[in-house]
Amino acid sequence: MTRLSFGARELRDLLVAWLALGVAFAFFYERITITTLGPVLTSGAFLVALAVSLLTAGIGFLLHELAHKVVAVRYGQVAAFRADYGLLALAVLGGLAGFLFAAPGAVVHRGRLTDRQSGLIALAGPVTNLALAALFAPFAAVGSALAWRGVTINLLLAGFNMLPVGPLDGNTVRSWSTAVYVAVAVPSIALAAYALYV
């Protein structure tokens, strides 16, 4: 069985993606624009917003990608996260422009896989986000703003990734098993839509 390990490039890519997504989500949630950027960056309020984003969106992203890697390695794959620096820049600019586009990169792997194994590797990320949302939920229920942000962001990450399009996880899961796809995607997308509008 392949051993779980991390190279220098992968660790750098994970760190850069975590920081970039933290900044993007902080810009978005604090409604920071290009015109207000200068004075805001040095303010205590922005540092708090950045810390919240790193602990919610950032952790959600990191554990999502690590879940893909762990399952891929379990199936004998050589797997590593690779950041997409162009999409990370777009995420930060999107946060400034008032919209979120979080596609920081992906876990790439090589080796022979069955459709089931590919589906389970894809499923691992969104299921991890649903689990994180469930962990945050009791604290959100008693009024923690940080926890509510954790619930919201993880539901959005799960729902978005379960869309059955392009390279998203949902498309891989659907190609393997329509029943599993429906069982996970329907509640994920419904909860993500709910999180957007509450």
Residues ≥6 apart with Cβ < 8 Å to 36 = none
Cα separation, 37 vs 96, whole angstroms: 8
Burial of 8 (0-12, 13-18, 19+ CB in 10 A): exposed
Residue 40 token pair? 């805001």
Q: Which of 13, 30, 65, 169 is catalytic?
A: 65
Question: Is 10 a catalytic site residue?
Answer: no
Query: Are the beta carbons of 109 and 67 closer than 8 angstroms?
Result: no
- Residue 150 CA to its chain's centroid (Å): 11
Query: Are the beta carbons of 50 and 22 closer than 8 angstroms?
Result: yes
Active site residues: 65
